[in-house]
A and B are shown apart, each in its own frame.
Chain A
Amino acid sequence: GAVVSQHPSWVICKSGTSVKIECRSLDFQATTMFWYRQFPKQSLMLMATSNEGSKATYEQGVEKDKFLINHASLTLSTLTVTSAHPEDSSFYICSASPREGLRETQYFGPGTRLLVL
């Protein structure tokens, strides 16, 4: 149980294009989903927290117009990297906290590797 999927697993795009990454909780409903960014050999940096049906809360230094987050349902959150540039290349990981039961535990997706050329 507590499986989180991400799609796509990797994506290569041209500079200036937009990329959408999906995060789904497959066997539970998630009140809250989180988006992280991880640079090579570094820790996870929280980008934003999204709650179903409300606007995402962004961490300091994260551009909300650059990284659009939508949490339309209890099982799906999307991160759109708009007008991507090479410096946006990174490993993006989402996590989800169950609506019921083990709410304090976050379950992570497998990550999406983005390369912007």
Chain B
Amino acid sequence: AQSVAQPEDQVNVAEGNPLTVKCTYSVSGNPYLFWYVQYPNRGLQFLLKYITGDNLVKGSYGFEAEFNKSQTSFHLKKPSALVSDSALYFCAVRDSNSGYALNFGKGTSLLVTP
């Protein structure tokens, strides 16, 4: 079985400050981890993924995430938030032993204020 948890419904950050959106996962095999962003009434846009290799993954729009196996976490980070980063962020996981279907977290709403 595989699952992913996003413990925060909403994260509020002032523009220019660093942001973190949390994600923890549970899989039986090796995890394939993803972050997607969704703007209102739109589909999901791929931000970054971890499959193997370096634990620090860099993605689109200045976002990065760190894979921590011991803590089973894959938190999304950005050094300096922009107002335009305000959106809904989804963490997703796939077990390397399963098919290609993703299991999504419930989403975290990020609000960046000027």
Contact = CB atoms under 8 A, between A and B. Distances in A.
A93 B38 CA distance: 12
Given A42-B106, A43-B90, A105 B43 contact: no
B96 to A, nearest CB: 9
B106 A46 contact: no
A43 B105 contact: yes
Interface of B: 32, 34, 36, 41-46, 49, 51, 90, 94, 99-107
A31 to B, nearest CB: 9
Contacts of B49: 104-105
11 contacts: A2-B46, A34-B102, A42-B107, A44-B90, A104-B32, A104-B49, A104-B94, A104-B100, A108-B46, A110-B43, A111-B41
Contact of A43 (B43, B99, B104): B104
A92 to B, nearest CB: 10
B34 A105 contact: yes
Given A104-B51, A105-B46, A105-B49, A46 B41 contact: no
B101 A34 contact: yes
Contacts of B101: 34, 46, 49
A91 B43 CA distance: 9
A85 interface: no
A20 interface: no
A93 B43 contact: yes
Contact of B100 (A103, A111, A113): A103
Nearest to A9: B41
